[in-house]
Structure 1
Amino acid sequence: MSFGRTASSTTTPPLNDIDLANPPEDTVSDLAFSSQGEFLSVSSWDSKVRVYQIMGDGSSQGKAMYEHQGPVLSTRWTGDGTKIVSGGCDKAVKLYDVASGQSTQIGAHNEPVSVVRFAECGNSNTPVIVSGSWDKTLKYWDMRSPNPVSTIELPERCYVMDTRRKLLVCGTAEKKFVIINLDNPTVKFKETTSPLKWQTKSISCFVEGDGYAVGSIEGRLSVQYVSDENQKKAFSFKCHRENVTDRGRTKNRLYSLNQICFHPVQGTFVTAGSEGNLSFWDKDSKHRLKSYQSIGTPITAANFNNNGSIFAYAIGYDWSKGYTYSKPDNPVGIKIHAVKDEEVKRKS
């Protein structure tokens, strides 16, 4: 299916947003905002995690940095905003204390750590770190012990993962999904297969915690629900594609859907692709709210701040075209975008 379009959903010129000061030296893998202020953690392939403060006018200032022994693939803040968790190709899960400026390793996997998240489990909302790895496991850490609280065996390598409220969804190789109810975090609630034809690239849970959106490497997105009853409302649609003319013939060029981000207040979402396009969507009314022309380089990571007033997105090479397109002069940076109502407000 295709999303409907309104008068406000036409494609507009590229965004002219504010550049983050002193960005990473290599492609950004992940972005995360603190819940306790406009502080942004950034993980990148230069093996570092950086922390920036975003000012009211969109300007920024670097505040801290710590290192891994290999490219860092994921970063998140703890719920109270006092610590940052990260994981990467050195197989380590690290925790950075904002007050002391010290980083410590709290966990390890047998293969690279592809994604980390902060979660609250059980009726008592016990805070834990969750890490997914290419070693086909999901591990829970209590931040005080080098041994995992629990380990869940996955059907394949963990590629993507997200949590919201008591929902955790992990996407693996071979298009498999493991769904977990964090009230019972050591048990798989459901296992399923992606409705999309090609490899899973991105995932994001609904604000309500009752479903998730998943994107693939060939410019397609699917909206999925956890309960069997709501799953009747599931649907998929094409995005991040363009028609190009080659030798007199029109072809449909496909791009990887690198990031899906739900607005924390409105529940609408934005998608970012390897062609450099940002599009805002309303899943409930099935409308595209806003779409911007490509900025000419892949968008590799993105996220909203805690109240949805700021949207940060990273530009850089995402390897979607192979090593021959990896060039020393490929741009690397992070843009700060002031969110407008027309981009995220639900359609009545």
Structure 2
Amino acid sequence: MAGIFGSAGAAAANANPTQGDLSKDVMVQNPPEDSISDLRFSPTGDYLSVASWDKKVRIYEIANDGSSQGKAMFEHEGPVLNCCWSPDGSKVFGGGADKAARMLDLGANATQATQVAAHDQPIRCVESFNTNGSPMLVTGSWDKSVKYWDLRQSQPAASVDCRERVYSMDVRGDQMLVVGTAERHIHIIDLRNPTKFFKSMQSPLKWQTRVVSTFTDGTGFAIGSIEGRCAIQYIDDKDSANNFSFKCHRQTPATDRNNSNVYAVNAISFHPQHGTFSTAGSDGTFHFWDKDAKHRLKGYPEVGGTISATDFNRGGNIFAYAVSYDWSKGYSFNTAQYPNKIMLHPIQGDECKPRPKTGKR
């Protein structure tokens, strides 16, 4: 295994250029005991935080050879629905069904988490960004509000009311926050004016929003829905001609070629260097895409269960995905035999590189 995860430039030998290879993927040791709701790599180090329904946030250290070990953990009083890191990588946050957000300060070698935010309903999303050199936490809740928290104060620094329950959020640097809510509403916030919506719109997708994820350059975002579609959306009206949507995570049974099985898009992650992105879904597959070329780079075989969360590490040479029940079919399908694991996929060769640009369209 040595060296597989050490370089993003290793060659990948594959007879089918669009068929991805899972054979070198490595399992993270000692995964959560219940469904995995979120996972995030540290922006500054080789650490992975994982939120789960067993009420815990775990932090793993990931080595270059793909091996892993648990380094820290903190607990909520209910299922944890989301997690994130502070921009300097010193703090890990969790938000959960206990209507609280909690923080573990790794920089202070803390062993106990402190509550840093509260809502009237479960906190579905947590993100962190810097403002005037200090980390700010932003939380999105099913109480239809987004709140900003200065970690030195117990009351929110600001709050903004959304049209509906918050289902997904993503922040890009200290500039932009995108919020996806119930009833397909999308709110875009300029973080320099955080209590006003810079723009509000309805998702171009006709079905419920599952995930929003911002482009690496901050010019737009991707939306995934429960109906096996992804939309690419630019913020500036002058770029609107580049907006498009496409089908993904659908399967056509061999016995019925006239109909497709449709699966939710659970996770979208952008590659930190190349700006390409992944989608992962309830069908148990993930794919890498080039939005500018409108082209699928790689598709991967089914992994044996639904994929509930994904992320690239800061170097772009590891893609983590959680194989875990996503609750898309209700509680009765969450059996004791259902897989619950975190896998690390080494990015090799040109897996995530955009297509070479040519003079022709």
- TM-score (normalised: structure 1): 0.94
Of 173, 177, 198, which residue of structure 1 is paired with 2:207?
Answer: 198
Decide which of 231, 237, 241 is 2:240's aligned counterpart: 231
Query: C-alpha separation between the residues in 1 aligned to 2:303 and 2:219?
Result: 33
Q: 1:295 deviation in Å?
A: 1.3
> Percent same amino acid among aligned pairs?
49
Aligned mates of 2:37, 2:316 — CA distance in 1: 21
Partner of 2:219: 210
- Which residue identity lines up with residue 121 of structure 2 in the other structure? E
Q: Are 1:44 and 2:52 matched, yes or no?
A: yes
**CA deviation after TM superposition for structure 1 residue 231, in Å:** 1.7
Compute the displacement of 1:125 (Å).
5.3
Q: 1:183 aligns with which of 185, 192, 197?
A: 192
Structure 2 unaligned segments of length 5 or more: list them.
Answer: 1-14, 357-361
Distance 1:191 1:100 in 2: 40
| Superimposed CA distance per residue, residues 279-316 of structure 1 (whole angstroms, 9 cap, x where no aligned partner) | 00000111111111111210001101112111111011
Specify whether residues 37 and 13 from structure 1 end up closer, same or farther in structure 2 by C-alpha distance, changes over 3 A only. closer
Structure 2 counterpart SS, 1:270: strand
Task: Identify the residue that residue 79 of structure 1 maps to in structure 2.
Answer: 87
Task: Look up the match of 2:6.
Answer: none
Other-structure match for 2:335: 327
Question: Deviation per CA, 1:2-34, whole angstroms, max 9, x where unpaired?
Answer: xxxxx9653345555111000000111111111
- Determine if contact 2:168/2:210 at 8 Å carries over to the other structure: yes
Name 1:21's counterpart in structure 2: 29
Matches within 5 A, 1:131-280: 131-165=139-173, 166-246=175-255, 250-280=258-288
Q: Measure the CA separation in 2 of the matches of 1:336 and 1:110.
A: 36
Relative to structure 1, the CA distance from residue 256 to residue 154 in structure 2 (aligned partners, 3 Å threshold; closer, same or farther) is: same
Q: Map 1:30-41 to 2 at 5 A.
A: 30-41=38-49
* Contact 1:12–1:292 under 8 Å retained in 2: yes
Indicate how the Cα distance of structure 1 residues 249 and 261 shifts in structure 2: closer, same or farther if over 3 A, else same: closer
The CA deviation string for residues 146-204 of structure 1, in whole angstroms up to 9 with x for no partner, is 10000000000000000113111000000001100111112111110000010000111
Q: Over residues 60-92 of structure 1, what are the superposed CA-to-partner deviations in whole Å (9 max), with x where a residue is unaligned? A: 001111100000001111011111111000000
Alpha-carbon separation, structure 2, partners of 1:216 and 1:94: 28
CA distance in 2, matches of 1:151, 1:33: 27
User: Cα–Cα, structure 1 residues 249 and 190, in superposed 2: closer, same or farther, change >3 Å?
Assistant: closer
**CA shift at 1:126, angstroms?**
4.6
Matched-pair contact (CA < 8 Å) for 2:90–2:105:
yes
Matched, 1:116 2:126: yes
Change (3 A) 1:152 1:9: farther
Q: Find the aligned partners of 1:322 and 1:16 in 2 and give their Cα distance.
A: 32
Alignment partners' CA distance in 2, 1:17 and 1:196: 33
What letter is aligned with 1:26? D
Aligned residues of 1:43 and 1:73 also touching (Cα < 8 A): yes
The answer to whether the 8 A contact 1:8-1:289 is kept is no
**What TM-score do the two structures reach when normalised by structure 2?**
0.91
Q: Distance in 1 between matches of 2:237 and 2:221?
A: 14
Alignment counterpart, residue 295 of structure 1, candidates 297, 303, 318? 303
Q: Which amino acid aligns with 2:213?
A: S
